[in-house]
């Protein structure tokens, strides 16, 4: 399918094929004996925004953890054509896979600026400064709080810091787990405006897990619906918004 949502602009939506940056095929994953994901196949194209929707416990977070290398899956994950299945998180970060986990994952005892510096610890001094400046330009509200401990930030600022930290080593793929969770609507809008900018300016591919279907189906190019660890539906965001079953179950009208 090749349509896109009207309000995201830029990149064309891509199904599996030449422009796929992330290709996941027959993915199974779980925790010990608990099987959570069953035979997931999905993809995200270069510069595409892909949403993963679904009810509580469907396996959305587990999907991102499998792609980012935090849990070891079965199946195949390709990134830029390279088989990355089973590689550890640090190796994937070096390739350009960044993960912003639910609950944000900042170092709360460190300052805002220290969090950014930690996010870019492998960079040389010049590039490190450049990336920090880039983050300040995306999130001026963080620059104002650069010396403040992350623990003292508002929920929205912590989410911004988590995203900024993930941008320090410029990612090709940004995995975001519930970026709107617990944020006021205005703050959510601000965060999503920056995410849109990151895609438009850097061509970064975004894979976003969200429970807020109204929000994410107005933002993504394509979406997958995950139910009980299986993909039950997929299509362009515009197509899914038109479906009666999606409206009833996820959009509330």
- How many angstroms separate the CA atoms of 212 and 192, rounded? 12
Nearer to ligand ATP, 60 or 104 (CB): 60
Nearer to ligand ATP, 101 or 170 (CB): 101
Question: Is the Cβ–Cβ distance between 54 and 208 less than 8 Å?
Answer: no
Helix (H, G, I), strand (E, B) or coil at 177: strand
Between strands 173-177 and 97-100, the pairing is: parallel
With residue 201 as reference, give the H or E element that holds it.
helix 185-202
Nearer to ligand ATP, 22 or 58 (CB): 58
Helix (H, G, I), strand (E, B) or coil at 22: strand
Least Å distance, CB 165 to ligand ATP, is 21
Question: Is the Cβ–Cβ distance between 239 and 221 less than 8 Å?
Answer: no
Nearer to ligand ATP, 35 or 189 (CB): 35
Least Å distance, CB 208 to ligand ATP, is 12
- How many angstroms separate the CA atoms of 137 and 126, rounded? 17
- How many angstroms separate the CA atoms of 169 and 165, rounded? 8
Nearer to ligand ATP, 59 or 119 (CB): 59
Least Å distance, CB 81 to ligand ATP, is 27
Q: Which residues form the interface with ligand ATP (CB under 6 A)? A: 31, 34, 36, 54, 56-62, 211
Helix (H, G, I), strand (E, B) or coil at 36: strand
Least Å distance, CB 177 to ligand ATP, is 7
Least Å distance, CB 11 to ligand ATP, is 26
């Amino acid at each position: 399918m090749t349509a896109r949502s009207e309000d995201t602009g830029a990149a064309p939506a891509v199904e599996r094929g030449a422009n796929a940056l992330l290709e996941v095929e027959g993915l199974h994953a779980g925790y010990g004996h608990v099987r959570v994901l069953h035979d997931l196949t999905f993809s995200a194209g270069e510069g595409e925004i892909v949403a993963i929707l679904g009810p509580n416990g469907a396996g959305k977070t587990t999907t991102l953890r499998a792609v980012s290398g935090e849990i070891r899956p079965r199946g195949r994950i390709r990134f830029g054509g390279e088989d990355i299945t089973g590689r550890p998180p640090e190796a994937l970060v070096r390739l350009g896979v960044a993960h912003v986990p639910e609950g944000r994952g900042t170092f709360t005892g460190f300052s805002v600026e220290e969090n950014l510096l930690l996010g870019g610890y492998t960079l040389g001094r010049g590039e490190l400064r450049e990336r920090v400046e880039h983050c300040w330009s995306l999130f001026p509200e963080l620059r104002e709080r650069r010396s403040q401990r992350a623990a003292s930030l508002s929920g929205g600022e912590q989410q911004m810091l988590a995203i900024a930290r993930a941008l320090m080593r410029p990612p090709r793929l940004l995995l975001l787990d519930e970026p709107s969770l617990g944020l006021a609507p205005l703050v959510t809008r601000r965060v999503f405006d920056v995410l849109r900018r990151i895609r438009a300016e850097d061509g970064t591919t975004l894979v976003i897990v969200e429970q807020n279907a109204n929000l994410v189906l107005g933002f993504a190019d394509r979406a997958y619906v995950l139910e009980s660890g299986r993909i039950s539906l997929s299509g362009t965001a515009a197509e899914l918004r038109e479906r009666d079953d999606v409206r009833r179950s996820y959009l509330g009208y």
